[in-house]
Each structure stands twice: as structure tokens, then as C-alpha cells.
Chain A
């Protein structure tokens, strides 16, 4: 158990819909990362927050957005969903120090039909 909690574990929805994925980082970790894992793209970095502020952005679509709240939990919002958004979405957290390892949650598996 990494200490990172993600909900929901599984989600099935239709094209055009909007979903929110939630992540609670490990106690004490200030940095939260979101990754997308799909068969064709592998593990792709989406976005990073540190203590409530956006710190780095990767290949995140404009239809996707995220935020980190004062209690440090984070949400990833995916809107106008397309079939290609079906993937495993991971949240990870770290203390925030340089070079620190990331601890990953179990992921949220999104299926868009």
C-alpha cells in the first residue's frame, strides 16, 4: 500500500460526458502528479501540483484540467470525453524534494463507450 488513494477505481461513461478523478496523497506529501497510461502512449505525464500551485504541465489536453486543494488532495477533470481517453489514470505523490521518488496510487480505470 503506497498510501496514495484514488477514487473511483473503475469508471465507465459515454462519449461527450465529463468525469472527475480524485486523489489523496500520502500524508505529508506536498506534490501531486497525474499520469495517463494507455496501450499506445505508455505512461504519459499530464500535470504536477506542488502545495496547491501548478508546477509542471505535460501532454495534457485542453479538455482536461486539474487542481490541488488546500488539504492537498487533487482532482483531475476530464470533459467532452472521447473513445481515445479510455486509459488508466494514475495519481502519484512525493514529498516534493528534488529527486524524490513518486508513490503511485492504484489508478482509476476509465472506459469511454
Chain B
């Protein structure tokens, strides 16, 4: 069975600090996709990034960066110079069913609540 673990329930940082959100996954699929979503206080789920299992290159998008390490089954998310607007719940997710060739559902972790204060 697929599983995503986000061990950090809540993190509090002061603005401008860097923060890393951890994500560890389990899957038997050889091909899979990993995602990060953000859920701000308003409640919607916002897509941040997708990474497939064959691409271990780290990715940077502005203040956001992602570190995918297949050897440790981890897909960590770092926010550099955090801002108050980054306060949200962040979810890591894993897609399954890739080998069946169908568009697949996401299995989500329990989320990490990030609180950025001034």
C-alpha cells in the first residue's frame, strides 16, 4: 500500500528564517509521482510541484526548493526566507496506479502546519 508520512505536525518560524518540511513515502511502484500542495487559511488546495520517480534533480522556484532522494524515499520542501504569507498547511502526496496506465488518485500525508510570525 502507498503511504506518505509527514512527521512534523506543526512548525513555527520567524519571518526570514529558512524552513524545511519533511516528506517520506512508501510505494511498491517503480514509476510514481510526488506532489506538494499548499492549503492556506482560506481552505483551498493549491498545487505547488510535481516530480516523477525518474527525475531526481532538485528544483528551485523562487524561494521554494525541493529535494527528492529516492535512496531515502524522501521529497523534502524548503522555503527560503520565509514570509508571513507562507503560513499554511502543506501536504505531500503520492500518486499510484501508474503501472495500470490510468490517471491516478493521490495519497496525501497528514500535512505540516507552518506558522510564520513577524
| Interface, chain A (partner B; CB < 8 A) | 2, 30-31, 33, 42-43, 45, 48, 50, 55-56, 58, 88, 90, 92, 94-107, 109
Contact = CB atoms under 8 A, between A and B. Distances in A.
B108 A43 contact: yes
A42 B105 contact: no
A107 B44 contact: yes
Contacts of A50: 102-103
A58 B108 contact: no
Interface of B: 33, 35, 37, 42-47, 50, 52, 91, 95, 97-98, 101-111
Contact of B105 (A30, A33, A88, A101): A33
A100 B105 CA distance: 10
Contacts, number: 66
Contact of B47 (A90, A98, A99, A101): A101
B106 A55 contact: no
6 contacts: A2-B47, A45-B106, A55-B102, A56-B104, A95-B103, A106-B44
Contact of B44 (A30, A31, A104): A104
A42 B108 contact: yes
B91 A43 contact: yes
Contacts of B46: 2, 104
A47 B50 CA distance: 22
Contacts of A56: 97, 102, 104-105
A91 to B, nearest CB: 11
Given A43-B91, A99-B50, A101-B35, A48 B105 contact: yes
A18 B103 CA distance: 30
A97 B95 CA distance: 12
